[in-house]
Structure 1
Amino acid sequence: MVCPLPSISLCMLPSLNFEQRHSFRSSLKPTSETLQRELFHKFNSPFELQQVHTLVIKTGTPLSALPLSRVASICALTPSFPYARRIFQLVDQPEISLWNSCLRDFAESDSPFDAILLFHQLRSHNVCPDSFTCSFVLKACLQLLDLFHGRIIHAFVEKLGLQFNLVLQNVILHLYSSCGQISDAILLFNKMPQRDTVTWNTMITQLGKRGDADSAYEMFLQMPERNVRSWTAMVSGFVQCGKPKEAVDLFTKMEEVGLKPNEVTVVAVLAACADLGALNVGRRIHKYSDESGFQRNIKISNTLIDMYIKCGCLEAARDVLGGMKERTVISWSTMIQGLAIHGKADEALELFSEMTQTGIKPNAVTFIGLLNACSHMGLINEGYAFFASMTRDYGIIPGIEHYGCMVDLLSRAGLLQQAHEFIKQMPIMPNAAIWGALLGGCKVHKNIEMAELAMRHLHELDSLNDGYYVVLANIYSEAKQWDNAARLRKLMRNRGLKKTLGLSSVSIKEVAHEFVAGDDTHPQFQEILKMWNQLQVHMRLKGYIPNTSVVLLDIDEKEKEKVLSRHSEKLALVFGLIRTPPGETIRIFKNLRICEDCHASFKLISEIVDREIVVRDRNRFHCFKDGCCSCRDYW
């Protein structure tokens, strides 16, 4: 039974001044079309709706002339909800469709929880939802990552027999996986009576985000049909899981099947090239991006800057930044950090000044780049000034990374006691990276006592990190304390720790060739060894003496020199010299810090062969040219 509408008259109107009353009464005289234009779309509250309703009655205008979707949105979350329902029941239009329109607006608004509140309102007044109702509320749940209400809607989907609605099933799948309920998502995926590419892409994307590249790739291979989004999701998944080589390889296969990458694909594969150091592939993607008109995509430009920096091409990175019509703080910060790790501290500080002059405020990442720049070049005063400026000038509270940069700055400069005092005064608990920075400074400045102090803290914070034991063992070895070095190696064995092998790669014609320290199984090893011996003759004439102190083993000098000659970066360099034409820059990527002997060797070799050699190690870039290194031996 339809409840009668309340009797509405002019006396029910709110308190109006004389001019407003006169204007309101005058509005009764124009045509209904004018009324609709002037009044029907201007009410902003249930009470104003009643005013308009009064005019509808007095002028004999059909009730359907009211903007019913506005009626719904005005009354949805108020005590006037039943009033709106009575209006809807008097017009020839399904009531739920009117509420669905309101639900959609709420779900897409800045307050998506309003859609969930309206859904509760509908259920409390026995308004039966349909598939669109569930879809809009699920969209709100997805925006809010509201798993609790999402499960409730899922139950309604089952209750209403909407299991075969693929759109609803895909949204529920997306919700579960986005909320971290991968097991529930997989269970739903396996039970779905039908799937489309959206279903598969959702699972691949979410598995990749959670680091399960193997499961994502298995699903990718099982897909009956793949589109560009499918390939992009898998490429992105490999990148997020730390598998850049697999990402680039898959992208190559995507090209082979004739699919053109979109802007999202370009960002993903450029990120993979950055991690892998695949400069040639990155350049090719850059060309494709320009030809496809993607130049205005800021995310692509930022990723290009990062790619060129990580491939050791500072000039190309500068060109990209210079060509950007619009720059974000990410653009500037990426370039500042790039200049820092290439040892261009002065240029990094100049770029920061240029950035602030354009009106862009730095963020926390910007200051990490600035502090790194100061650290890599020993700019103590400048580092302190930037650290203080963060909070004083920009209201940025330093994080653990900023404190780590400061400890690294002081430790590299040999101010080990000052670095220790800085750590003790930190307002936050120092982590392993903080003490690791101090330990690294102790190695450079051969301070055993402070190194042992740092190691005691590292033993408590990160006892399974083999790198710290190796650094301390190096310090002992350089001091000829073989017993202590042996004790550390034994401790590592007892804990099941193995020294991470040095791994270096050099890319030749888009193919990465990898070398492991001490490995003599490479097909061209004898040729590599022969050329290294030839290079050593020239190096010794220039005063080269092998730095055997970096070899931890207590063996004779000849054996130590043999170990040095088989360091992975040396093998990669000589292979690059053999396989590339004269004058071509050789780019090497190493998983660990380059050792002192390799660093001294590469400076001499760059002069002997008249080549530029770029090495990216775990910490920074070294650009060897004409017998010098860009780090100025401060590393």
Structure 2
Amino acid sequence: MQNVVMWIVPVLCLIALPCKDVVVWSAMILGYGLHGRGYEAIDTFNAMKLAGVKPNDVTFIGLLLACNHSGLVQEGWEYFHRMKDYGIEPRHQHYAIVVDLLGRAGYLNEAYEFISSMPIEPGVTVWGALLSACKIYRNVALGEYAAERVFSLEPFNAGHYVQLANLYASAGMWSHVRKVRILMREKGLSKDLGYSLIEINGKLQAFRVGDKSHPRSREIFEELENLERRLKEAGFVPDTDSVLHDLNNEDKEEILCNHSERLAIAFGLISTPPGRTLRITKNLRACVNCHSATKLISKLVGREIVVRDANRFHHFKDGVCSCKDYW
């Protein structure tokens, strides 16, 4: 029932608008995409066509993002090729989304072939999407090639080096991780620090990894310990591959449970009444471990937890996420 309501309410708002131009329709499609509601985005696109409104390049960015965030590979591929039916030439952003769409689904070779066939020179976002996918599937050789292309285009963007280090870490190649870190130091680059925000009683609270500066820090870490105990009792096994240090598993687990969104969740739990939805914003992409942990936490505490990370919205409830573990 809730899913039906989430789809109908925006549609009713759309119907009530006196002027429903391409901007309004495109915003709706993009909104559904950010929340991983791919089929609703497609339905909205079809309704837009029936209303006689011609889509533009931004419309297709939203539509492709919606397919990407929902794992709708075939649909996304078809919509990309249908852009020409409307006289729209794909831009770099369209190509990057398709590469990400293919790569996240495991079609790495197809993604590379797609890049090789591009009529325009691939940019940073295109190669970056391939590098990110290579990390997921631990394809070191192709990932290194993508990293070389990215470095040649943006040699002083720390995020690209972190992506390569993530790839090496996922493959257990710690000597290569150290080489990347040394290279970053030589270039004077540093990794962006992750932080999470949560609003409680009209006041915005910010947390960083391992942050103990909050006035209620003792209570927050007590709640964290309680959550970790309940997670272990429920059979949760931390995914330590996301830690970029060659440490033992115990040390890795301690680092993971102190990530900024975990601190924000703990603070939200001790600061709001039972059943209240927690809404958190994170500046970086959620790591695999925190994503898995938050799913189970939502079930253990009986709360919905909404996290807006760098890419999209995640709605955690009853042990599952709206992204269906595809993000």
Q: Same fold (TM over 0.5)?
A: yes
> What pairs with 1:194-209 in structure 2 (closer than 5 Å)?
none
Q: Could you list the runs of 4 or more consecutive aligned residues of structure 1 that deviate by over 4 angstroms after TM superposition?
A: 313-319
> What pairs with 1:14-33 in structure 2 (closer than 5 Å)?
none
Q: Which residue of 2 aligns with 1:592?
A: 284
1:576 maps onto 2:268 in alignment = yes
Q: Distance in 2 between matches of 1:388 and 1:561?
A: 45
Q: Distance in 1 between matches of 2:103 and 2:157?
A: 20
Q: 1:464 aligns with which of 156, 165, 189?
A: 156
Pairwise CA distance, 1:316: 6.1
Q: 1:356 aligns with which of 23, 40, 49?
A: 49
Pairwise CA distance, 1:510: 2.2
Taking a change above 3 Å as real, the CA distance of residues 570 and 318 of structure 1, as seen in their structure-2 partners, is farther
1:628 maps onto 2:315 in alignment = no
User: What does the per-residue CA deviation read over 1:488-546, in whole Å, with 9 as the maximum and x for residues that have no partner?
Assistant: 01111111111111111001122211111122222212111111111122211221112
Q: Distance in 2 between matches of 1:518 and 1:315?
A: 41
Q: Distance in 1 between matches of 2:103 and 2:264?
A: 31
Q: Distance in 2 between matches of 1:435 and 1:634?
A: 20
Pairwise CA distance, 1:412: 0.8
> What pairs with 1:74-113 in structure 2 (closer than 5 Å)?
none
Identity of aligned pairs, percent? Answer: 48
Q: Which residue of 1 aligns with 2:169?
A: 477
Q: Distance in 1 between matches of 2:20 and 2:309?
A: 29
Q: Distance in 2 between matches of 1:512 and 1:317?
A: 27
Q: Distance in 2 between matches of 1:321 and 1:523?
A: 44
User: What does the per-residue CA deviation read over 1:347-403, in whole Å, with 9 as the maximum and x for residues that have no partner?
Assistant: 110110011000001110000011111111222221121111111x21111111111
Q: Distance in 1 between matches of 2:179 and 2:236?
A: 32
Give secondary structure in 2 for the equivalent of 1:406: helix
Q: Which residue of 1 aligns with 2:221?
A: 529
Asked whether the equivalents of residues 607 and 625 of structure 1 are also in contact (C-alpha less than 8 Å), the reply is yes
> What pairs with 1:381-420 in structure 2 (closer than 5 Å)?
381-391=74-84, 393-420=85-112
Q: Which residue of 1 aligns with 2:58?
A: 365
Q: Distance in 2 between matches of 1:362 and 1:526?
A: 53
Give secondary structure in 2 for the equivalent of 1:619: coil
Q: Distance in 2 between matches of 1:419 and 1:387?
A: 14
Q: Distance in 2 between matches of 1:395 and 1:315?
A: 31
Q: 1:520 aligns with which of 200, 203, 212?
A: 212
User: What does the per-residue CA deviation read over 1:141-172, in whole Å, with 9 as the maximum and x for residues that have no partner?
Assistant: xxxxxxxxxxxxxxxxxxxxxxxxxxxxxxxx
Q: Which residue of 2 aligns with 1:551?
A: 243
Bigger relative CO (Cα 8 Å, ≥ 6 apart): 2
Pairwise CA distance, 1:325: 2.6
| CA RMSD after TM alignment | 1.4
> What pairs with 1:6-21 in structure 2 (closer than 5 Å)?
none
Which of these two proteins has the greater Rg computed from alpha carbons? 1
Asked whether the equivalents of residues 314 and 338 of structure 1 are also in contact (C-alpha less than 8 Å), the reply is no
Q: Which residue of 1 aligns with 2:3?
A: none
Q: 1:602 aligns with which of 287, 290, 294?
A: 294
Give secondary structure in 2 for the equivalent of 1:398: coil
Q: For residue 28 of structure 2, what is the amino acid of its counterpart? A: M
Q: Which residue of 2 aligns with 1:444?
A: 136
Pairwise CA distance, 1:317: 4.5
TM value normalised by structure 2: 0.95
Q: Distance in 1 between matches of 2:8 and 2:317?
A: 16
Give secondary structure in 2 for the equivalent of 1:326: coil
TM value normalised by structure 1: 0.50
Which stretch has the larger CA shift, 349-358 or 553-562? Answer: 553-562
Give secondary structure in 2 for the equivalent of 1:350: helix
Pairwise CA distance, 1:332: 0.9
Q: Distance in 1 between matches of 2:242 and 2:151?
A: 23
Give secondary structure in 1 for the equivalent of 2:161: helix
Give secondary structure in 2 for the equivalent of 1:582: coil
Pairwise CA distance, 1:576: 1.0
Give secondary structure in 1 for the equivalent of 2:59: helix
Q: Which residue of 1 aligns with 2:195?
A: 503
Q: Distance in 1 between matches of 2:7 and 2:196?
A: 21
Q: Distance in 1 between matches of 2:9 and 2:50?
A: 23
Pairwise CA distance, 1:622: 0.7
Pairwise CA distance, 1:342: 0.9
Q: Distance in 1 between matches of 2:104 and 2:113?
A: 15
Q: Distance in 1 between matches of 2:258 and 2:36?
A: 27
Asked whether the equivalents of residues 473 and 484 of structure 1 are also in contact (C-alpha less than 8 Å), the reply is yes
Give secondary structure in 2 for the equivalent of 1:464: coil
Q: Distance in 1 between matches of 2:31 and 2:164?
A: 29
1:342 maps onto 2:35 in alignment = yes
Q: Distance in 1 between matches of 2:210 and 2:297?
A: 21
Q: Which residue of 1 aligns with 2:231?
A: 539
User: What does the per-residue CA deviation read over 1:36-59, in whole Å, with 9 as the maximum and x for residues that have no partner?
Assistant: xxxxxxxxxxxxxxxxxxxxxxxx
Q: Distance in 2 between matches of 1:632 and 1:525?
A: 33
Taking a change above 3 Å as real, the CA distance of residues 444 and 314 of structure 1, as seen in their structure-2 partners, is farther
> What pairs with 1:133-532 in structure 2 (closer than 5 Å)?
317-391=10-84, 393-532=85-224
1:616 maps onto 2:308 in alignment = yes
Q: For residue 215 of structure 2, what is the amino acid of its counterpart? A: P
Aligned residue-pair number: 322
Q: Which residue of 2 aligns with 1:282?
A: none
Give secondary structure in 2 for the equivalent of 1:507: strand
Q: Which residue of 2 aligns with 1:561?
A: 253
User: What does the per-residue CA deviation read over 1:110-161, in whole Å, with 9 as the maximum and x for residues that have no partner?
Assistant: xxxxxxxxxxxxxxxxxxxxxxxxxxxxxxxxxxxxxxxxxxxxxxxxxxxx
Q: For residue 348 of structure 1, what is the amino acid of its counterpart? A: A
Q: For residue 199 of structure 2, what is the amino acid of its counterpart? A: S
